[in-house]
């Protein structure tokens, strides 16, 4: 950030355009604000959670987290660089999910934040978000469509890399957190209260409920019709290998 401030000040000194100077001065103030945050963070120690990580290969990875935290490594995690300035996030909203395929990457976050990169994360575009509540997850399916979902059962799909979105009628109001595409092309999306959504190619939704009633954080397909989920109750299967009564007893025992 100090290097960025020095570069911005050089640009201010060499510009005669008042509008340009005003924008550059705002960027200097923003960078100084971030430095103040860093100084406080150094005193507090590591306290801000990371919320997701995307590994491009064995050496390159991007990590995101609370309060707009955005880091990258190019040496397999031996060292990290702060790259939060690459995103248009002046309020420091939480960044919840990073995912993609190839050079097309996406970040979803608090208050409807949605970003896209077509160069592997070197630069980012702010998308016109389909929802202004928190977005908790997303995935890209085998056809290259972008799926995003979040608070209160809101889910959307885009066929043009986030330039426009179609609303999915999920039939639920629970928070949705993660998803995947099956071999047959069905989308699976999981969330709170044991919710599992199956979305077919016509965007029709089948709403299933795992008997655990657990908050679920991710899902993968093991085989046709067999899925594995992670969440508050650990590893869960579909078809379920526990009854509602057994799941409740397990939860009470853990408490």
Q: Specify the pLDDT at position 30.
A: 87
Q: Which residues of the chain have pLDDT under 70?
A: 242-255
Q: Specify the pLDDT at position 245.
A: 63
Q: Specify the pLDDT at position 42.
A: 85
Whole-model pTM over 0.85: no
CA distances in angstroms from 246 to 217, 227, 240, 242, listed in the order given: 21, 20, 11, 6
Q: Specify the pLDDT at position 90.
A: 85
Q: Specify the pLDDT at position 255.
A: 39
Q: Specify the pLDDT at position 244.
A: 61
State the Cα angle at 42 between 38 and 43, rounded to 5°. Answer: 120
Look up residue 11 and give its two tokens.
Answer: 């640009």
> What tens digit of pLDDT does each residue of 25-45 get?
999 998 898 889 888 888 888
- Looking at the DSSP bridge assignments, the partners of residue 191 are 176
Q: Which of 170, 176, 99 is nearest to 140 (CA)?
A: 99
Q: Specify the pLDDT at position 247.
A: 60
Q: Specify the pLDDT at position 132.
A: 94
Q: Which residue ranges make up each domain of the chain?
A: 1-47
């Amino acid at each position: 950030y100090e290097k960025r401030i020095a570069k911005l000040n050089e640009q201010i000194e060499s510009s005669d355009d008042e509008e340009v100077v005003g924008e550059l001065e705002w960027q200097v103030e923003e960078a100084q604000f971030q430095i103040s945050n860093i100084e406080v963070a150094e005193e507090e120690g590591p306290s801000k959670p990371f919320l997701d990580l995307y590994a491009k290969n064995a050496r390159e990875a991007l990590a995101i987290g609370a309060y707009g935290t955005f880091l990258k490594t190019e040496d397999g995690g031996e060292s990290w660089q702060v790259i939060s300035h690459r995103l248009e996030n002046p309020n420091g909203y939480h960044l919840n999910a990073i995912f993609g395929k190839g050079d097309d990457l996406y970040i979803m976050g608090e208050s409807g934040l949605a970003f896209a990169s077509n160069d592997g994360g070197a630069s980012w575009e702010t998308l016109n978000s389909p929802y202004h509540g928190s977005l908790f997850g997303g995935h890209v399916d085998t056809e290259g469509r972008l799926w995003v979902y979040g608070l209160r059962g809101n889910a959307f799909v885009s066929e043009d890399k986030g330039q426009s979105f179609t609303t999915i009628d999920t039939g639920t109001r629970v928070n949705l957190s993660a998803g995947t595409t099956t071999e047959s092309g069905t989308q699976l999306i999981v969330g709170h209260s044991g919710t599992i959504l199956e979305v077919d190619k016509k965007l029709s939704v089948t709403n299933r409920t795992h008997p655990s009633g657990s908050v679920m954080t991710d899902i993968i397909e093991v085989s046709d019709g067999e899925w594995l989920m992670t969440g508050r109750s650990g590893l869960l299967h579909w078809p379920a290998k526990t009854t509602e009564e057994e799941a409740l007893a397990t939860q009470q025992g853990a408490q």
